Chain A
Amino acid sequence: MGEVIFWVIWALVAVSAMVVAFSKNLVYSVFSLLATFIGVAGIYIFLNADFLAVTQIVIYVGGILVLLVFGIMLTNRIVVAKITQSSLQRTTGLVVVGAIFLVLVLTLLNQTWPLATSAAEFDSTVNNIGELLFGDYLILFEVASVLLLGALIGAATLARKEL
């Protein structure tokens, strides 16, 4: 059963990502991201990364996607403006992307990847993540807080009316 569900999720991610990329209507692209993000969360679950999966939904759906939606909907004169997207330089892009894709696929297949030692038994990752976040990675946690503080100050500065 697991395998069937995996392929269903895989198809969901692939199809919705294609809609994101190829849809002419920007609004459809954004809403299609919803399916992509949730599908990716599903793939995380298959990797036993439960915490990551839920974080993916909270941050990407609850945060990033809402931000994107805001960006589009708060655009001036949204009702009359035609929101479309198009691609330039299709041939060049296709060649470059195709080349990189080829290299990636070939090397991905030929490379021996180091694997985690024990993934057999399903065990919650929350505790480990918590301990790492407040242990080895504590300083990065703090650095991120300063970064966010700076971003907040900057955003408020740019957004306020006063010069």
Chain B
Amino acid sequence: MIDAIASWMLQFGALNWLGETGASLVAVALVGITLFIFVAANAIVLVYVERKVSAFMQVRLGPMRVGPMGTLQTVADALKLLVKEDIIPQFADKVLFRVGPWVILISAFVAFAAIPFSPTWVPADMSIGLFYVLSVSSVVVIGIVMSGWASNNKWSLYGAMRSAAQIVSYEIPVGLSLLAAVAVVGTLNLQELIQAQAGVGNLFHWIPIPVPNWFIFNNPFLFIAAFVYLIAATAEVNRTPFDIPEAESELVAGFMTEFSGIRWALFFLSEYANAAVVALLTAIVFLGGWQSPFPDIQGARIGMSVLAVLAIIWTFYVKVKANRLSIYPLAVTVVLAVLAWLFPAFAQWLANPGLLWIAIKGGTIIFMLMWFRWTFPRLRVDQLMYVSWKVLLPLAMINLAGVAIWMWLTGAINLVG
């Protein structure tokens, strides 16, 4: 990616003075800035979406005043945070108080370096991409503890310690559940992981229902692993129902208590960056990343039609059961299906792998995370540890063994070597 951009820049005569070193430096800077803009925009959009989703789930409107449908609300909020007075508590540790939020943000941000957004668009195509993402997200702990300690506030320190314990505990099921997928392909490279999920196959290898070859459909143990991962990862990024470190009812706001203004905005940025990383990683490892669910034009047409039919059935079901007519899903899917049948180019576009699909998949996961947040009650500290060590960890371990057995059953590996 970097090399491609650099050589592309060197093809312009005007940029030749950069030289190879300069060109690659500029390319690195370009990619970094792009990613940073993405992270910032991601936070602004997701905060808005989160507020809208929570409003929808609580049967209220959410932000409506600033901009059409309140869309500019979070932009205004961000501006407000930027211009706020910079407050550092008198007895706080000045150095660590300043550094802490940045450590968290950077460790959340650098994870994007390995995420493939499309077959060609990956900032750094690493052979150890998955492991890299896991490793840099473990640095977050240090930032959290740093911030909590520097605040010189007992709630902050409690929050930080809880958070550290939580992240360290949940790293293990996260790693083990991802390892299940790695075991199937035998690579840590995220691009290769996605490429291994191309095509269409049977559901769970033997059930004759055509589904995309994504790992979640491919192997019942990876199906379980996907959920183990999603739960554990939710806990690892400290989102509700696992947000014990910042439990308002107990700890004010945990390690964020003393932070305000721009530093607090950094926490927010990193929180949503983390959520995005989790969603993208789930999409990549278990849902085929940028792979399209449709193998070709015909597949896209049939797939969209099946979706439309399902929407019709669902609409009738809701009408009969709840006596409520929800027309939007029906309308959208039917229109899309008709378009796919009318315009082959549109169907082709749907069947192409690319940014569209990873965005849809990631968006769905993020929506699920929000759904979790606004429906589940928060866990207690001991329950949290219980879930990690006594439920998820054994499940992930058994699952890993199950994957091996499944691979042996399907003939992917043979034991006698």
Contacts and interface: CB of A to CB of B under 8 A. Distances in A.
**A–B interface present (Cβ within 8 A):** yes
Interface of A: 1, 27-28, 31, 34, 38, 50-51, 54-55, 57-58, 61-63, 65-66, 69-70, 73-74, 78-79, 124, 126
Interface stretch (B124-132, B304-312, B340-348): B124-132
Contacts, number: 73
27 contacts: A1-B25, A27-B149, A34-B103, A34-B142, A51-B128, A51-B131, A54-B131, A54-B132, A55-B131, A57-B136, A58-B138, A61-B138, A62-B139, A62-B141, A63-B168, A65-B142, A66-B142, A66-B164, A69-B142, A70-B164, A73-B145, A73-B161, A74-B161, A79-B152, A124-B127, A126-B127, A126-B187
B157 interface: yes
A6 to B, nearest CB: 14
B135 A58 contact: yes
Interface string B67-103: 0000000000000000000000000010110010001
A67 to B, nearest CB: 9
Given A34-B103, A66-B141, A50 B161 contact: no
Contacts of A34: 103, 139, 142
B36 to A, nearest CB: 20
A89 B309 CA distance: 82
B414 interface: no
A1 B21 contact: yes
Contacts of B152: 79
A4 to B, nearest CB: 9
B390 interface: no
Interface string B371-414: 00000000000000000000000000000000000000000000
B103 A50 contact: no
Nearest to B20: A1
A9 to B, nearest CB: 15
